[in-house]
Amino acid sequence: MTTTQPDRTEESEGGLKRTITGRLLYGYVLGDVLGSGVYVLIGAVAAAVGGAFWLAFAAGVAVATLTGMAYAELVSKYPRAAGASLYVHHAFRRPALTFFVTVCFLSAAFAAAGSLASGFAGYFTQLVQQAPVLLVSLLFVLALCLINFIGITESVVANMVMTVVEVAGLLIILAAGVVQVARGDASWGVLTEFRAEGNPVFAVVAGVALAFFAMTGFENAANVAEETRRPAITFPRALIGGMATAGVIYVLVAMTAALVVPVDVLGGSEAALLEVVRAGVLPVPVGAMIIVFALIAMVAISNTALVSIVTQSRVLYGMAREGVVPWVFSRLHHARRSPWVGLLFSGLVVGLLLVVGALVQLVDPELDLVGRLATVTVVFLLFIYALVIVSAFKLRGTDEADDAYRAPTPALVVGLVGNVVLLVYVVVDDPSSLLWVGGLLLVGLALYLAARASRRGRDPLAGYAGHDAKEG
């Protein structure tokens, strides 16, 4: 009864065309991942580890990619837009747990957007010296919400352009590294140096926890799973391929940064990759290069931050459609068809995080807001990732189609152990991050209570399945 025109492409998919090809998905993953961490956090990782901080990136990338395999397996089974909460629902069938995971995911996205906004302000103040950091980051969040409201992020082309810009920025860094090595100025010894005090293993683990943030964003790829052509085949390749590419770039960039710039300069910088450019290795005017590179960094950070805000309002929308948060979050703007209430709310929460961060900094000037919010993101994500891997194991043997991707079991075991070890380390090392975690979870609790109140005490969680959109 449903009749459609014969397709231009060979792809039938029940006669319906899906736009996301493997190449587009690969670019999407790469752009989303590259923007999140390396521009923002490389200084913090360098400070934590010492000259050998590329090791931290390598380990972080490895753990994240192993987690990506679990995602790929689950996406190929359940090509829906909901990601972790859907998998946990299928694996455990406990609405309360599903809700908790969804709130954790939302909180991770809030913290990530806050960290990225602060990172953006860090690069911005390199261009405009006197700009007030808090104001810049707040305006940045406002701009992101507006852009999402208008819907520019829907453009696949805009995404590809941003990804190309991001990769170009890192190629500039790598070029500086190549020149440095070719000149014979590289002192290779620095790559095996650790921070003076403490055990090298702990130094690396500390770096890994931060470097992990650089890989986050890949889980957003699940958002487009539904519109991916032949997801069972395309998705694992594009996701793992994109993450592996990002990983190789990260390790090379980290090595370059260590070879070109003294590690203490990297560690003390607000915009560490800019120091590589500032070192003046490349045969181009440093002043112009700094401006170009700062702009590239800002584009990269914006790209990932945009996706993060999209994710927040989408998760809120999905939850509202299922009645576990107030229905008002499913309101769409009448003409733009964008979830303006969710966007506004996201903007407010992220803005609040930034303001609280600024206030805490007044009391404790040592606080590195970018790093702190990144740590909070990582705490949430490590928990979710571990649970996703467990879900992948629990769902083995169910809903398995012939062409479904199956991740190698040892890889998932290593990934699970990696996630749990990092989670324990982060929490033990920095218990105060739990305060922030708790604060963000309170937002979720408040939303739940508001939904409950509007349903006159009936439990909104009854029947919650973590689907992205459900008939209301």
Partner 1 sequence: MHVLVATDGSRESLTAARELQRLADPDRIDEVTVVAVVSPLAAVPFANDLGRPRDPAPPGPGGLSFRQEAEDAVAVVAEQLARWGPPVRRQVRSGSAAAEIVRAAEELSADLVVLASGGRGLSETVLLGSTAARVQHSAPCAVLVVRPPGPRRPGR
Minimum Å gap between C-beta 117 and partner 1 is 18
Using the rule CB under 8 A, is 151 a contact of partner 1?
A: yes
Using the rule CB under 8 A, is 234 a contact of partner 1?
A: no
The 8 Å CB, 24+ separation contacts for 364-367 are: none
Residues 18-77 contacting partner 1, CB under 8 A: 18-20, 28, 77
Using CB under 8 A, pick the residue from 128, 171, 332, 449 that binds partner 1: 332
DSSP letter at 7?
P
Using the rule CB under 8 A, is 458 a contact of partner 1?
A: no
Angle in degrees, CA 414, 416, 420, rounded to 5: 115
Task: Please tell me the count of residues contacting partner 1 according to CB under 8 A.
Answer: 57
Span of 111-119, 161-169, 239-247, 305-313 interacting with partner 1 by CB under 8 A: 305-313
Decide whether 126 or 159 has the Cβ nearer to partner 1. Answer: 159
**Cross-strand pairs, 228:** 20
Minimum Å gap between C-beta 319 and partner 1 is 12
Q: What are phi and psi of 228, to 5 degrees?
A: -90, 135
Instruction: Report how far apart, in Å, the C-alpha atoms of 440 and of each of 91, 252, 331, 380, 437 are.
Output: 25, 35, 23, 10, 5
Rg, the chain, Cα only: 22
**In whole angstroms, what is the distance from residue 114 CA to residue 109 CA?**
9
Question: Are the beta carbons of 51 and 190 closer than 8 angstroms?
Answer: yes
Decide whether 137 or 312 has the Cβ nearer to partner 1. Answer: 312
Helix then strand then coil, % of the chain, to nearest 5: 75, 0, 25
Residues 345-374 contacting partner 1, CB under 8 A: none
Using the rule CB under 8 A, is 334 a contact of partner 1?
A: yes
Minimum Å gap between C-beta 195 and partner 1 is 41
Using the rule CB under 8 A, is 16 a contact of partner 1?
A: yes
Minimum Å gap between C-beta 14 and partner 1 is 10
**In whole angstroms, what is the distance from residue 133 CA to residue 276 CA?**
22
**In whole angstroms, what is the distance from residue 246 CA to residue 176 CA?**
18
Using CB under 8 A, pick the residue from 80, 195, 278, 372 that binds partner 1: 80
Using CB under 8 A, pick the residue from 264, 399, 403, 429 that binds partner 1: 399
State whether the Cα torsion 283-284-289-292 is positive or negative: negative
Instruction: Report how far apart, in Å, the C-alpha atoms of 469 and of each of 102, 315, 320, 390, 466 are.
Output: 13, 9, 9, 24, 9
Decide whether 277 or 310 has the Cβ nearer to partner 1. Answer: 310
Minimum Å gap between C-beta 463 and partner 1 is 11
Minimum Å gap between C-beta 348 and partner 1 is 16
Alpha carbons within 13 A on the beta-carbon side of 90: 25
What per-residue string of b and e applies to 346-382 under the rule 16 or more CB within 10 Å gives b? bbebbbebbeebbebbeeeeeebbbbbbbbbbbbbbb
Using the rule CB under 8 A, is 223 a contact of partner 1?
A: yes
Using the rule CB under 8 A, is 402 a contact of partner 1?
A: no
Using CB under 8 A, pick the residue from 93, 164, 264, 336 that binds partner 1: 336
Using CB under 8 A, pick the residue from 153, 234, 256, 375 that binds partner 1: 153
Residues 84-113 contacting partner 1, CB under 8 A: 86, 90
Using the rule CB under 8 A, is 314 a contact of partner 1?
A: yes
- CB count within 10 Å of CB 218 equals 24
**In whole angstroms, what is the distance from residue 306 CA to residue 92 CA?**
31
Decide whether 89 or 195 has the Cβ nearer to partner 1. Answer: 89
Using the rule CB under 8 A, is 148 a contact of partner 1?
A: yes
CA 331 to chain centre: 26
Using the rule CB under 8 A, is 397 a contact of partner 1?
A: no
How buried is residue 324: exposed, middle or buried, by Cβ count under 10 Å (0-12/13-18/19+)?
Answer: buried
Using CB under 8 A, pick the residue from 11, 93, 154, 284 that binds partner 1: 154
Minimum Å gap between C-beta 201 and partner 1 is 41
Span of 175-183, 258-266, 295-303, 330-338 interacting with partner 1 by CB under 8 A: 330-338
Using CB under 8 A, pick the residue from 102, 137, 159, 419 that binds partner 1: 159
Decide whether 278 or 467 has the Cβ nearer to partner 1. Answer: 467
Comparing C-alpha atoms, which of 21, 99, 3, 36 is closest to residue 463?
Answer: 99
Tokens of 40: 């923002």
Minimum Å gap between C-beta 328 and partner 1 is 14
**In whole angstroms, what is the distance from residue 122 CA to residue 114 CA?**
12
Decide whether 339 or 371 has the Cβ nearer to partner 1. Answer: 339
Using the rule CB under 8 A, is 438 a contact of partner 1?
A: no
Minimum Å gap between C-beta 85 and partner 1 is 11
Q: By the criterion CB under 8 A, which residues form the site for partner 1?
A: 1-5, 8, 16-20, 28, 77-82, 86, 90, 148-156, 159, 223-224, 226-227, 309-310, 313-314, 317, 330, 332-339, 342-343, 399, 465, 467-471
